[in-house]
Amino acid sequence: MSEVGKQRRIIGGFRIVVALLVVVIVALAIAFGVVVSRLHKQLSSVPGACPSSGNIDLEPPSDLPPFHDLTREEIKAVRNFLYRQKDLNLVRPSEITVNSSYVFSFELHIPNKQVTTDYLDNGRARPDREARVVVFRGDLPDPTQKNTPSGPCPIPCILKTRSHCLSATGLSLVRK
């Protein structure tokens, strides 16, 4: 056989291999589609399956448990309360700079364990819901981070302050 004939034969073999690979890939894609559609039918027929409408009620319950996250209204009330505290010199998020004081985060301040278990197990008074707020104070000569529990929610009226000085050596606890 001539050199050209050998090359044509090799190219023909590659064409056959490529055609077989394309057929196998198409067959796998069809099989995958069939399996997914059957699984979808099986899962949608299971009792208690999630509704496909996407209407999940995210509103908080009317009677909040002690460890339920802060509600939208509680966060707004705490935020407004903090902005009214003139000694914090807080700026709005759009005005934040390195040398300003701003609210970094809000979360639920976990109530005392004994008070909570007394409420849950013995029917005693419900523990106050408080927000734990982290405030960065860049406006001070020594910048600090303040962990500020405030409460009771939903109408806060008390600030308790714990400060952490930020220095080149890291965080050091300073109680005020």
Q: What is the pLDDT of residues 66-113, one digit of tens each?
A: 888 888 888 888 888 888 888 889 999 999 998 999 999 888 888 889
Between 11 and 162, whose confidence is greater?
A: 11
Q: How crowded is residue 46: how many other Cβ atoms within 10 Å of its Cβ?
A: 8
Q: What is the pLDDT of residue 34?
A: 93
If asked whether residues 80 and 166 sit together in one domain, one would say yes
Nearest Cα to Cα of residue 88 among 108, 69, 102, 77: 102
Average pLDDT of the segment spanning 49-66: 73
Task: Check: pTM over 0.75? Answer yes or no.
Answer: no
If asked whether residues 34 and 97 sit together in one domain, one would say no
Distances (CA, A) of 62 to 57, 65, 71, 78, 120: 13, 9, 11, 19, 17
- State the pLDDT confidence band at 49, using cuts at 50, 70 and 90: low
If asked whether residues 35 and 107 sit together in one domain, one would say no
Q: By residue range, what is the domain housing residue 170?
A: 72-174
If asked whether residues 96 and 158 sit together in one domain, one would say yes
If asked whether residues 150 and 97 sit together in one domain, one would say yes
Low-confidence winner among 48-57, 104-113, 123-132 (lowest mean pLDDT): 48-57
If asked whether residues 77 and 22 sit together in one domain, one would say no
If asked whether residues 116 and 167 sit together in one domain, one would say yes
The half-sphere exposure of 17 on its side-chain side, counting CA atoms within 13 A, is 6
Average pLDDT of the segment spanning 133-149: 85
Q: How far apart are CA 104 and CA 31, in angstroms?
A: 51
* CATH number for position 128: 3.10.450.40
The half-sphere exposure of 12 on its side-chain side, counting CA atoms within 13 A, is 6
Q: What is the pLDDT of residue 1?
A: 66
If asked whether residues 170 and 89 sit together in one domain, one would say yes
Number of structural domains the chain divides into: 2
22, part of any domain = yes
Q: What is the pLDDT of residue 5?
A: 81
71-109 per-residue burial string, b: 16 or more CB within 10 A, e: under 16:
beebbebbbebbeeeeebebbeeeebeeeebbbeebebb
If asked whether residues 78 and 11 sit together in one domain, one would say no
If asked whether residues 76 and 159 sit together in one domain, one would say yes
Between 175 and 29, whose confidence is greater?
A: 29
If asked whether residues 2 and 78 sit together in one domain, one would say no
Element containing residue 21 per DSSP (H, E): helix 3-44
If asked whether residues 113 and 163 sit together in one domain, one would say yes
